[in-house]
Structure 1
Amino acid sequence: GNADIRPEVADSIELTTDWRNGALALRGSLFHTKVKDLITYRLLSVSGIRRTYLYDNVNRARITGLESGFTWTIVPGIDWNTDLTLLHTRDEDTDEALEDRPRRSLASHLDADLGGGWNTRVGFEYTGTQTSAGVDLPSYTLWNASVTRRLNKTFSVRLGLENIGDVRLLEKSPAFGYAERGRTLSATLRAEI
């Protein structure tokens, strides 16, 4: 731990809009945040794949960005959702980009109601380039798919396949300080009470 860590204090301004016309819905937000004592972490040491971090403060930080997206009902029962985030971050003392914050991220998925209680989803999550411990990290994309069957008013069962391409971040760069779970098959029983 770090006994000298200070709480964050932030001032933000955000402008948000939503628009819908028939089958198309658009959304967008512009935001600007100034943070005093932004809580972050600093890499202390690396031993093989093990890393040791210490929580720390960035004296003055600035985060400016755009979030935008759409939902389009292509035909009744088939929806396409996409959301994009663009970030520009700065440590105002060093004039460097804040670490571990991707400059671009994009998520998109297609949902289909197949009738008879069956639904399916396929989509991807793109994480853009970022800097970590002074090293530029490459972008990566994860693909996911699922099928859901509503059994009755209370229960549904879902079968999902996450990270279909089995993306391993350490294979992309040894500087990644985290891992995405490898290809994973899951089954979920959900109760809505």
Structure 2
Amino acid sequence: MPLALSSVRRQELHDLYTDHHAWLLNWLRKRLQHRETAADLMQDTFLQLIGRPAASGELQQPRAWLTTVAKGLMVDRLRRQRLEQAYLQVLASQPEAFEVSPEERLLLLETLIRIDALLDGLPTNVRTAYLLSRLEGMPYRDIAAHLGVCLSSVEKYMATAMRHCFQAQWS
């Protein structure tokens, strides 16, 4: 279903894109190795505007606003790349009998990316405790030793992480 934008909002977005897309593309090219990646992120940055009300900085300081959004998208892309590299390294270290089909590999990678996005924003210790427990099967006592905290802290971390996941699931 196409997104309905008011004619005023459509014109604002058009003007913003027309006035700043070349500048943003050059800004991204200076920071990224691949021109195609810069072009993709430039488009993704402007897509962030569609479907949301205009932010005050968007029109008053458009370059500052566009830079902030683009930086966030670069961080997300880097996080996904690191996650994918780690996943591929684990797969490469497995015996051939454990080999995964390309379709299964893609599904697993997409799942890891969703989990990573879901846990984004949690404090480092909370996120680490949750991953050690759920992915590594590590007992809470071992997690406490690993993190250098008491057992009750790990229990609180796990409760926080589970509450966060539950709330994200229903929002």
What is the TM-score normalised by the length of structure 2? 0.29
What is the TM-score normalised by the length of structure 1? 0.27
Identify the structure with the greater helix proportion.
2
